[in-house]
Structure 1
């Protein structure tokens, strides 16, 4: 495992942060209550050895994530405020005040993606432990809880068969170009024109013409898949590595080429977010929402420290709400040590 880089150090020419801030400030007190070694043990195990820049300290990234949700800040605002707030820097483990940023805004997104759902659950466990230790969350607040599911919308374009097929063609051509695969034909120009014509014909209610252009797109997509399969098979020793990188994209492209508009069951609605599902909410303004179903549990009472999330989990496959209750109760017990 590669050791996270730690640029935090004392500077003899500058006073330490604990000498210029109020040690009774809520963030300072909270930083002393959190078990940072527990978070480093749970979250630091994701890093693996190998070439590249060492990762950022776990306390820095975990502290940023806690501050982000405590103050409801976006990544951009959090980055700007961290550079001007000594209490934010002390909470994240800095020794002296820094005018430069040791991280980039995109580091937050990459860190969240790398952690995954299971490791980020450790933050919920530690926050609830600190809340109970400080009296912000009492035992009576955990006796009765409210569990509900909702949809977490994803930032995707409205899915259409023509748009998805055209995007799959572009992705396959880009993969071939990046990996030195010479294609027989890319079909980029004719595929773009066909995708445009599908929209025009559909708008004009000329569905037969639109279906012909859609069939044209799917035919070209199938040709690209077969062409890349042949070229990778001819690579010899390089074939296994190429096939490992090409496999997920190929599977998505095959699903897109075979799925239909009125097909029931699992479908692909986005290439960059294949986990997206179509969920019917029954809303008049939006009958269907594209995203992932999530389960959330909160106390029914009003805790002294504000609203606390006792359980949060993504539910893949759009399960029935009643079937998710047992897992939610078990997760609440694991996070709080109490059986609601």
Structure 2
């Protein structure tokens, strides 16, 4: 779909050739003061698709904020074909307190979409965001990080059974795509079900700006711009290798103790190799944790202490040909 019309939301519009920065009210505090989210809308002079970029649905997930801000304020958008809706901080109350969930009743904003204007605080906020800035778009990118104590390599999560979503996921150019519809209430799941194909980009850890991951994500956004013609000079990228996984395995601790990780996020591990060792404070009776199959670690523990049952790492399977490609690339670093 292409559009050469104004982008409209409840309370305003942005005509072709215009940019608007606004703080949009989605709720109120206990004192009756407005809770506002920052929004930047850039409507190009040339017709094209309407795309949203969102971050910080979980208030402590910061990497995506910088991606969205740099697209909005550092990229040359003078010849933009279409419209971009930039939402760098969805969960403003959580961002202000630097916690994952909304401080109000500890609700998860990213389990509250598409929202409901007469329901809980979280669903009212989600409704205001969804109806005004998500539903009017043709597709979108939603940026996340791992939760506290863990870190993710950059990868995409997408419902690959839907061709329009698969196109978007491939266009972003990540090496790993985790296939799945998304849980009920998630922004990407509900947007996709509302005919706005959306993918999640997972990158890094909470409470951090990680420059290398931000740069990789910006390259992915450029690639999406190229695929959909938002800018003429952006090229769709090939990451060098790619795997689409439907099954992923959380490897959990079978003993309590202190974890000594032997691999970083993004590393290839071969079946039977020791991923980490769990020891007690005296470094005695080390318990090895071995890879059950050959794959790549898309997520690993950052906080090095565990109880039995705690997740240690997130491993996705690789076929042998892809594993050899990854092995060669990692050995040449």
TM-score bucket of the superposed structures, by smaller chain:
under 0.3
Larger Rg computed on CA atoms: 1
Higher helix proportion (structure 1 or 2): 1
Give the structure-1-normalised TM-score.
0.27
Q: Which has the higher contact order (CA 8 A, sep 6+)?
A: 1
